Amino acid sequence: MYEGSDGYEDVLTLGSDQVDQANDLIDNPVLDLGPILVPFHGPLEADITDRPMIEIKAKCLIEFNFGGDQAHSNSMNCLAGCNCSNPCPYCEASKHDMCSLDFDQTSTIRKRDRIILLAHAKLGMCPGCRREIVPKGTVKDQDLQVELAEEGDDEPVVPADMKLAATKGRPVTHTTVHFGVVLGRTPPYHLDPSRWIVCILHLNLCIVRGLFARTIVAEFGKLPTSTGEQKISLAQKIDAMAELLLTAGIRMKKSKITKNRSKEVSVYDERLKSSGMGGRDADFMLNARNAMMKLMFPVELCGPWHDDEVLFASKDSFNRFYAAATDQPNAKAIQKSYDVRRAWYQWDRTWSLLRSKLVYTAAVDTLPGHVIKQAWETRADAVFESAKVFVTCWIDAVGPTQGLYLHELVAHVPDQIRRFGDLGTRQTQGLEHCHARRKQVGFNATNRKEGQRLSTMMQHSTIKRKVMQDDEVDSQVNKEESSKA
């Protein structure tokens, strides 16, 4: 969106025509390609050697799938945000269960019709507050009925019986009762949330950023600074980390490596997010993980360094090292270093598996459908097992958090691999990056007010394209004249 963001309001305001066009194809998923010529495949007469071309009417069946980061898919499915009570766009899991170790636990899958009812945007029975949705001005019993809502309406009072329900001390609000759905909103696209594909590039970026914030930056915030020598030591360590990141290809200000002691890590996450850390930086950081670990866990504090091939050779190998550290003077520091290293190591393995190409027994176009599906099943099972180990390692290293991508990694990514196959071909981060660059060019090309930027930018683009075409013509003429001379 050149004039705004990719949030719900801007998409409906600035992209309404595109949404309507998409919905037309979603509702009627057959594209008429018109008449085309194809070779005749029937039997030929003896005196005819060349197959004649015949005209047929061709139609193409369209399947719509959408993608984007979680803020976008969350907004498009009418949720109150990635930090709301139930932030997952695919199911109604609570944010307090994002790091659940009950990997067999399932939550109600979100459907478009159910979202609209939870938003009180159509007549029927609300599955959240369990009240009948009736036309405005016709409510007779507020405990049994609620008005049809439009966006911007005041939230109705939560039923008394739900306020008295056991909630583990958490407040009961309209949003929590309705699983994070915003009152009065309806999903702009006519499809279920299951058709929104997880962006694994954003998933990697957010998980690496979370690991960096919680295992590197948060640890800097815990270092003592009460004496002059300790301040010098801390400053030197920050300088060394900044230099290490620069060597790895990541330009990050020193202020981004330190965290205010009065701030929660989640608050720092947002600050780090706005620092411009991108997908390539996440890969650079993974490549430099052991160098960062050596800096954070020096030998004099955490004992000798063991290479990944030794420490993580097997589960038993890691357990032996972990148990042996119990008898050391700095047992907690050593075991902490092992937990953090294992979290980074396991994510490196999981990410390598997620982005690797699917393996088939032969060329894909020569295989029957059930063989291709079996390859997808095998990859999905491998990702699920690796993801379970990683989430367990994450909790051991930093404790349970409310990270949405951790939940999606275990609960939804494997299922999407089973359904769509290679998710790497369905990513939108590269497209988003191109749009961001074009938007930046458009903003720099004009000082027009908001609402006029797009038309002005398109005018600039048209002029530039015309100049390039004229230059090509002049260049061709010059070449012809030079050859004649």
Q: What is the pLDDT of residues 295-304, one digit of tens each?
A: 888 888 888 9
Residues 6+ apart with CB under 8 A from 41: 51
Amino acid identity of residue 270, one-letter, is E
pLDDT at 16: 86
Both tokens of 140, joined, read 């007779």
Antiparallel, parallel or unpaired: β 145-147 and 132-134: parallel
Please give the C-alpha separations between residue 78 and each of 11, 185, 187, 298, in angstroms, as whole numbers: 12, 6, 6, 48
pLDDT at 414: 96
pTM: 0.80
pLDDT at 2: 46
Residues 6+ apart with CB under 8 A from 315: none
The domain ranges of the chain are: 8-64, 430-473
Q: What are 169-211's pLDDT values in tens digits?
A: 567 888 889 999 999 999 999 999 999 999 898 899 889 988 9
Please give the C-alpha separations between residue 206 and each of 94, 200, 203, 227, 384, in angstroms, as whole numbers: 19, 10, 5, 35, 19
Residues of the chain with pLDDT under 70: 1-4, 44, 46-49, 164-170, 221-234, 254-256, 258-278, 428-467, 485
Q: What are 382-407's pLDDT values in tens digits?
A: 999 999 999 999 999 999 988 899 99
